[in-house]
Amino acid sequence: MADTNKTAKLSFDGKELELPILSPSAGPDVLDIRKLYAQGDVFTYDPGFTSTAACDSTITFIDGDLGELLHRGYPIDQLAEKSHFLEVCYLLLYGELPSAVQLEDFESRVTNHTMLHEQMVYFYRGFRRDAHPMAIMTGVVGAMSAFYHDSTDITDPWQREVATIRLIAKMPTIAAWAYKFSIGQPFVYPRNDLDYASNFLRMCFSVPAEEYEVNPILSRAMDRIFTLHADHEQNASTSTVRLASSSGANPFACIAAGIACLWGPAHGGANQACLEMLREIGTVDRIPEYIARAKDKEDPFRLMGFGHRVYKNFDPRAKVMKQSADEVLDLLGIENNPTLQVAKELERIAIEDPYFKEKKLYPNVDFYSGIILDAMGFPTSMFTPIFALARTVGWISQWKEMIADPQMKIGRPRQLYVGPTARDYVDVENR
């Protein structure tokens, strides 16, 4: 972040303040209001943080108008096409693409931490049989702080690194076991001879009674889904992780907080909600009815998988996801999939509709991901856990960046208080 030598003038109540303007390496300039309260005795008001940068960061950049997403400068479509998830993890965590030796070392460290502490099995068993896998994941990841005491001291860089590797390595096992528990099948242990995505697929879909061979095309599609969800700058769950960790909380507690936030239908839960919506629409002829409902201000219905706080253009991840959906359905011989047909036609109609055009509402990453996951055999309840698994690296990268920042302080937003002013307590018999 560089000082531009430019300032903005703010005058009110006879006061005149000069606010420095900071220049990012990309994106709009930023007004530095850090001294505003001290100098002007006023707060800023910005519910939903639509105009507020809460931190500086070198990890991910989004140009919402262009529909561009960069990780450490590299465009997401290049990473999705040419790279793979663990390499992208390395890039997000350490800032540069790894050399061949660095990559091998990183992959080996991740691969050798995939098992869960065996006593965590009892923790799983404590959940109700019909628990949602996201509820299980939130609990199990939070509980990691009770199992891995040697990586909870955030002031120790070595412990931070161990926690990082543990979280990335164990998340597929945690998510797969949450699924296995919910369907009453035995847990499948990780295998270190498989790559990250294949291992996850095997832990989800194999059973002890028979051999399971991972289809390399499905494994590639899975890996691509992980890559497309790896990070997305200061979204709600990432900001939750940052805020939680600003108090000095341990990494497992912070990532559990991120998972809990991601579960909401306006965020990571949208992929489940989107597939359910596409199925409810069912056939192409019913699309106009749903478009009309989405536009009706009296109806709370929204087109799931459409719209984004930052993208006012195509979400670049949605483009790659659409292509992957075609490939996976083709491979599985699922021709004329009615849900995919509804999705494509809905996209076509919505992006030409004046309401969606005017509000710049385009398909987001969740619009096609559910179709692919469904075709792979995942139930809708596993869509958000898969998102959480992939986003873990983004959360940890942002967490590491924040902890290493000497300017880090506890996050403590202010408020515009509109409640009653001071009044005297009245005894219950006099109320």
- Work out whether 263 is an interface residue with ligand ACO (CB under 6 A): no
Stretch of 187-195, 282-290, 303-311, 332-340 contacting ligand ACO, by CB under 6 A = 303-311
- Min dist. Cβ of residue 23 to ligand ACO (A): 25
Is residue 223 among the annotated active site residues? Answer: no
Residue with tokens 């502490």: 117
Question: What single letter denotes the amino acid at residue 263?
Answer: W
Q: Does 308 bind ligand ACO (CB under 6 A)?
A: yes
* 303 binds ligand ACO, rule: CB under 6 A: yes
Report how far apart the first and last C-alpha atoms of the chain are (Å, whole number). Answer: 57
Query: Do 40 and 17 contact (CB within 8 A), yes or no?
Result: yes
Distances (CA, A) of 310 to 29, 284, 343: 16, 29, 22
User: Which token pair is 228?
Assistant: 């497309």
CB of 320 to ligand ACO, least distance (A): 14
Residue 214 CB, nearest distance to ligand ACO (Å)?
26
Q: How many angstroms separate the Cα of 283 from the Cα of each of 265, 301, 339, 375, 402?
A: 23, 18, 8, 18, 47
Q: Report the residue from 106, 179, 290, 306 that binds ligand ACO according to the rule CB under 6 A.
A: 306
Among 304, 329, 376, 396, indicate the residue that binds ligand ACO (CB under 6 A): 304
Binding mask 214-253 for ligand ACO (x = CB under 6 A): ----------------------------------------
Strand order in the sheet with 15-23: 2-12, 15-23, 30-31
Task: Provide φ and ψ at 60, rounded to 5°.
Answer: -130, 140
- Catalytic residue at 315? no
Biggest CA–CA distance in the chain, Å, is 79
For residues 50-89, which are near ligand ACO according to CB under 6 A?
A: none
366 binds ligand ACO (CB under 6 A): yes
Query: Closest distance between ligand ACO and the C-beta of residue 387, in Å?
Result: 7
The residue from 279, 302, 319, 344 that contacts ligand ACO (CB under 6 A) is: 302
Whole-number minimum distance, CB 305 to ligand ACO, in Å? 5
Do residues 137 and 385 lie in contact, with contact meaning Cβ atoms separated by under 8 Å?
A: yes
Comparing CB distances to ligand ACO, the nearer of 124 and 306 is 306
Judged by CB under 6 A, the residue of 73, 359, 377, 414 near ligand ACO is 359
Q: Of the listed 223, 315, 366, 374, which one is catalytic?
A: 366
- Annotate 122-161 with DSSP letters as a single string: HHHHTS-TT--HHHHHHHHHHHHHHH-GGG--TT-HHHHH
Task: Choose, from 308, 315, 374, 405, the residue flagged as catalytic.
Answer: 308
Q: State yes or no: residue 270 binds ligand ACO (CB under 6 A).
A: yes
Contacts with 65 (C-beta within 8 Å, 6 or more apart), sequence order: 312, 313
Region of 29-37, 52-60, 107-115, 265-273 interacting with ligand ACO (CB under 6 A): 265-273
Q: How many CB atoms lie within 10 A of CB 136?
A: 23
Q: Which residue blocks in 49-119 are alpha helix, DSSP H?
A: 76-82, 85-94, 100-111
Closest CA to 63 of 266, 311, 243: 311
- Among residues 35 and 359, whose Cβ is nearest to ligand ACO? 359
Residues 309-328 that bind ligand ACO (CB under 6 A): 309
Segment interacting with ligand ACO (CB under 6 A) among 15-23, 180-188, 364-372, 397-405: 364-372
Nearest distance, CB of residue 201 and ligand ACO, angstroms: 22
Q: Which residues on neighbouring strands pair with residue 74, listed in sequence order?
A: 71
Instruction: Identify which of residues 71 and 267 has a Cβ nearer to ligand ACO in the complex.
Output: 267
CB of 358 to ligand ACO, least distance (A): 9
154: contact with ligand ACO by CB under 6 A: no
Pairwise CA distance, residues 359 & 353, whole Å? 10
The only residue of 365, 375, 402, 403 in contact with ligand ACO, by rule CB under 6 A: 365
Q: Does 305 bind ligand ACO (CB under 6 A)?
A: yes
CA dihedral 147, 403, 386, 208 (to 10 degrees): -30
| Helices within 263-382 (DSSP H only) | 270-281, 287-295, 316-331, 338-352, 354-358, 366-376
389 binds ligand ACO (CB under 6 A): no
Chain residues binding ligand ACO by CB under 6 A are 266-268, 270, 294, 302-309, 359, 361, 364-366
Cite the active site residues.
308, 366
